[in-house]
Amino acid sequence: MKFCLLLLTYLISFAVTTPISAQITEQKIDSLMNRALAKLQVAGAAIILVKDGQTVVQKGYGVADMHTQAPVDDQTIFQIASNSKAFTSAALAMLVDEGKLTWEDKVIDHIPEFKMYNDYVTMNMNITDLLTHRSGLGLGAGDLMFFPDSTDFTVADVLQVFQHFQPESAFRTQFDYDNLLYIVAGEVIERVSGQPYEVFIQQRILTPLGMASSFIGSQPVAQQTNLAKPHSTTTGEMRRIQLFDNGLTNAAGGIYANVADMAKWLQLQLNKGHYSNGDSSLFSSENAAKMWTVHTPMAAHGSARYQTHFSGYGLGWFLTDIRGNMVVSHSGGLPGMLSEVILIPDLNLGMVLLTNTEYGGGALNDAISRSIMDAYFGLDELPWIDKNTQYLADNIHQADEETTRVWARVDSLKPQKIDTKRYLGSFQDNWFGEMQIYLKDDALWMRSVRSPKLNGSMHFYEKDVFAVRWDYRDMECDVLATFEGEESGKATSIKLKGISPEIDFSFDFQDLNLRRITP
């Protein structure tokens, strides 16, 4: 999520002092985790830390569900969200090893109907491009197809959607995180292997590794007795929210796992594709190196403390260096579910943190992982929990100020005489479909036909501008809707923009171009 991506930039510039011994104890981690849960208002968390093939700590903290008070343990299953992307990359690596495709294969060689925003990119986009966030599209382009969940978009829709976007940079020149192209990558796996993506991941990766509690997609959720429930503090108080459920995104973020199973994934990665004490392999060492090679450079935020020289994205992994050691990592975020995976191969060290609370979860993962890394790098101890608590409070305050200002203005206005006929009707976006403006109890409302959770009341803000308060409250995503143009006294188009400056990038309302389709 956006918080995880920005926190690294903000917190990396603190000075180094006297180093400590390169280790950390289970007791120290217990202390850090319990303090972080309380300060950052996180319901529950789980961690696995492995060093030199041995488990340093593998346990849970807090509660999986604030209603039942069921505790988190090392068997508690969480959604790992975008940390699923590395599984998709691994699956493609396996197919490359088997000679069924190459990293340079053109996407249209396997999916002829795939179409990008211009012919050149359509003809030249290859398998590597699907995984490296360098398509030229803007941050999170098209994520409204699955955010919030319960939309009716299909893979077939995704394959055609890119032609309707305007690029923000030249092809292969700039990093902009995306999810939709990983969905395309999942479709490549299905067409090349002859197995549904979910079956391939389960049978070819999870089962051989012995990740017996892990699964992909939401179908087995009802059978789980030890499942973390998502929570949110976006309203100021902790509340349990609904589990995100959208099978379209499985290749980008659909895996469920516990830290006990993720320990096996860590060892596979640290052993460069080998498992079972090196007797078996999922993918070759050559492709392990390929996945850990920078394909899309990013800005490196150097500091005296970490001595970072490069940063970039590989195939399903963020890559950087700290004090001469390569660091391989990825974060993941869904409503109320945050994950962090970090590998430091030079130290033969890996960790996974899983949390179940919106806002504080990402801050906890970052604070704990930094504290652990600092110990193993022999650095002085910094109060990362306090720093992240302050960072989070500052950003929430900034977001609250803007949203409060907008709604305060709405509430302060005298009742307006509105010509509702100017706004009523249906408006169509080429990729997102129809949005309807209708009357409910004599008030204007807006709803999406294909994303039913985007249904909300409209409140006059200024001439031709309305604040829309969605019924969906699991994440903050209310918008300002600006009506433009005039034809027979009716608005001809709508532009949407998130109200909160901290709105998650997956709510890409700004990419919509809604045009009236009814008289």
Where among 352, 369, 395 does a domain terminate? 352
Residues 220 and 329 in one domain: yes
Residues 89 and 178 in one domain: yes
Residue 274 is assigned to a structural domain of this protein:
yes
Residue 17 is assigned to a structural domain of this protein:
no
With a CB cutoff of 8 Å and minimum separation 6, the contacts of 403 are 476, 478, 499, 500
DSSP tag of 487: B
Please identify which residue in the block is written with the tokens 């807090």.
62
Question: How confident is the model at residue 18, as a pLDDT?
Answer: 34
Question: How confident is the model at residue 519, as a pLDDT?
Answer: 83
Residue 379 is assigned to a structural domain of this protein:
no
With a CB cutoff of 8 Å and minimum separation 6, the contacts of 278 are 271
Could you report the per-residue pLDDT of 487-497, keeping only the tens digit for each? 778 999 999 99
Average pLDDT of the segment spanning 286-310: 94
Question: Is the omega angle on the peptide bond into residue 148 within 30 degrees of 0, that is, cis?
Answer: yes
**Predicted confidence band of residue 208 (pLDDT cuts 50, 70, 90):** very high
**Predicted confidence band of residue 22 (pLDDT cuts 50, 70, 90):** low
Could you report the per-residue pLDDT of 89-143, keeping only the tens digit for each? 999 999 999 999 999 999 999 999 999 999 999 999 999 999 999 999 999 999 9
Distance between alpha carbon 366 and the CA centroid of its chain, in Å? 15
Question: How confident is the model at residue 276, as a pLDDT?
Answer: 86
Question: How confident is the model at residue 5, as a pLDDT?
Answer: 44
**Predicted confidence band of residue 21 (pLDDT cuts 50, 70, 90):** very low
Residues 288 and 435 in one domain: no
Helix (H) or strand (E) holding 132: none
Residue 129 is assigned to a structural domain of this protein:
no
Nearest in space to 39 (alpha carbons), one of 372, 384, 321:
384
Instruction: Name the β-bridge partners of 216.
Output: 255
Tell me the CATH number at 502.
2.40.128.50
Residues 190 and 311 in one domain: yes
Question: How confident is the model at residue 15, as a pLDDT?
Answer: 36
Average pLDDT of the segment spanning 263-292: 95
**Predicted confidence band of residue 397 (pLDDT cuts 50, 70, 90):** confident
With a CB cutoff of 8 Å and minimum separation 6, the contacts of 471 are 453, 455, 456
SS3 sequence of 397-411: HHHHHHHHHHHHHHH
Residues 336 and 455 in one domain: no
Report the side by side order of strands in the sheet with 231-232: 239-240, 231-232, 357-358
Average pLDDT of the segment spanning 239-267: 97
Residue 166 is assigned to a structural domain of this protein:
no
Q: Is 450 helix (H, G, I), strand (E, B) or coil?
A: coil
Furthest C-alpha separation in the chain: 76
Residues 194 and 289 in one domain: yes
Q: 70-79, 217-226, 445-454: which has the minimum mean pLDDT?
A: 217-226
Tell me the CATH number at 76.
3.40.710.10
Neighbours of 81 (CB within 10 A): 26
What secondary structure does DSSP assign to 104-126, as a single string?
T-BHHHH-TT---SSHHHHHH-B
Question: How confident is the model at residue 361, as a pLDDT?
Answer: 96
Integer Cα distance of 157 and 224 in angstroms: 31
Residues 96 and 178 in one domain: yes
Could you report the per-residue pLDDT of 2-16, keeping only the tens digit for each? 434 434 443 443 333
Confirm if 51 and 222 have CB atoms less than 8 A apart: no
Residue 453 is assigned to a structural domain of this protein:
yes
Integer Cα distance of 163 and 198 in angstroms: 27
pTM of the model: 0.94
Could you report the per-residue pLDDT of 312-354, keeping only the tens digit for each? 999 999 999 999 999 999 999 999 999 999 999 999 999 999 9
Q: Count how many domains the chain has.
A: 2
**Predicted confidence band of residue 277 (pLDDT cuts 50, 70, 90):** confident
Integer Cα distance of 384 and 366 in angstroms: 8
Q: 17-21, 73-77, 392-396: which has the minimum mean pLDDT?
A: 17-21
Could you report the per-residue pLDDT of 158-196, keeping only the tens digit for each? 999 999 999 999 999 999 999 999 999 999 999 999 999
Integer Cα distance of 363 and 45 in angstroms: 12
Mean pLDDT of the chain: 93
Integer Cα distance of 175 and 4 in angstroms: 16
Where among 331, 352, 373 does a domain terminate? 352
Identity (one letter) of the amino acid at 509? F
Q: What is the extent of the structural domain holding 323? A: 71-103+173-226+236-352
Neighbours of 329 (CB within 10 A): 20
Residue 113 is assigned to a structural domain of this protein:
no
Where among 292, 326, 352 does a domain terminate? 352
Residues 338 and 255 in one domain: yes
Question: Is the omega angle on the peptide bond into residue 519 within 30 degrees of 0, that is, cis?
Answer: no
Residues 431 and 304 in one domain: no
Could you report the per-residue pLDDT of 409-424, keeping only the tens digit for each? 999 998 888 999 999 9
Residue 42 is assigned to a structural domain of this protein:
no
Average pLDDT of the segment spanning 445-466: 97
Residues 426 and 347 in one domain: no
Number of helices and strands in the chain (H, E): 15, 24
Q: Is the pLDDT of residue 41 over 80?
A: yes
Q: Is the pLDDT of residue 20 over 50?
A: no
Residues 216 and 305 in one domain: yes
Residues 347 and 424 in one domain: no
